[in-house]
Chains A and B, each alone.
Chain A
Amino acid sequence: MPLAITMPALSDTMNNGRLVKWTLRIGDKVSKGQTIAEIETDKAVMEVEAFHDGYLAGPLAAVDSEIPVGQVIGYIAESPVAEIAIAAPAAPAAAAAPAAPVPPIPPVAVPPASGVRASPYARRLAQQLGVDVADLSSRQGEVHADAILAAARRAPAADLDAGPPYRIERVSSLRESLARTMAASAATPVFRVTARLPLGPLKLTAKAAQVSLTLLLARASALSVTAHPLFNAVYTPEGFARRERVDVGIAVDTAEGLIAPVLRDVAGRKLADLAADWAGLRDRVNSRRLVPEDYRGATFYLSNLGQFPVVDSFDAVLPQGAAAILCVAGAGAERASFTLGCDHRVLAGADAARFLQTLAEFLTDPGTLLGAPD
């Protein structure tokens, strides 16, 4: 039975030793106490002595390699053999019991091959999105990115069987896309800041200039965004996407569901042009002729529940693609409620406060909103 030679612990701080040289060759006769190798520790070069009589046998650890304490570096055999067949590693550490106790061989940290067939990109996405790849793979075989994304998007299903009988009613594609958008937004870390601001002057101005209050609110928001450009940025894994134009998505309540047509360049164009665009968008909303270009790509959102006097204040889900959404309510009161929902990856509370302060100035002196941009 060949006996293993292990890397000895030559000091209590030693984790690894470097094998400097073997002083004997494979097949050489070894007697107990004889030097068989030299080891360099973190402090000095020391000799390794044989604890048994026999013949040095391989496989020998390579010279100049760093070897953890306790690892087998060679064997002492009863007869001269070139190499020990190490089919079953039969507790070699037990045989070598030097003065300093040898710690057990540390387990090798090689993760087992999972047998899960998934692309590297799918695995990376699964890790980021907290999706169980093994589960997906067991159900559908080879897993690619699309399956991970679909699984991440899928909301946990409600437990319908426990309740009363039900029927499934297909919803319009608008509502379906709304559900998707909202679910996708759920991962955004949002905080809210509310301010009570005067709406009276803006109402008077709208009436006098014969423009819609919503349009003026959008204009005031866009100019405030221009003053605080971070509000026009959106978070991406690569960095902030800073947009060169303020496009305001305005939430509109329709029989089919919520939709937010987008008014383009609200800070940079003449109010009359914006009014014409807004009228066109309203028409297309009412006639259900909105095309994707009409409701995609907003950089800021506005939601106004001012026409419902019972609503005191509210906040909204922040759609993806924007850093903030402004929610207006309680328009009947002397001061309306303005709640700003912000993406905390881009903005902080003080940013929101500064934005609302700028907005307050526009609302107090709305005359500036009517003028052409400079």
Chain B
Amino acid sequence: MKFRYRRYAIMPSLDFPDGALYRPEVPLRVIGLDGSEILSALVDTGADVTLLPRSTQNAIGGSIDEAATSRIAGIGGREIEVMSGDVTLALECAGETLEWIARVRFIPDESSSDAGAILGHAGCLQFFRATFDGHAQDIELLPAPDFPGSLKRE
């Protein structure tokens, strides 16, 4: 599955003189007991875990493991406590759907900073071969041989 990078208009700067920011984001369907919703998720090879907004968990009826809290941190070092849960994730592209069950971390919406959802190693990238083409501005995600989910074709 190939996805085009998302393009955002930003203030022009030395790094982005044309005022265009490209990000490897993919439309991710998050499925729970009560329904599903689609988030534009940043594919981040530097993220150890997969992060979703807490309000998504509420909206879809995602399971929460109250006993499984953990701490995460980014640049700057500020740590936040997050809860874990299991949801079904799905990527859809050109008539194909990849679906798998993943353990994810739910972060408070106000902590989501500049990315609403992040696909990191645990829960996502561990199951894929990912190719980032910054020149063509697209990302290809192919399921690895041990992909734990299913591939459906229309």
Is B one of A's binding partners? no
Enumerate chain A interface residues (CB-CB to B < 8 A): none
Enumerate chain B interface residues (CB-CB to A < 8 A): none
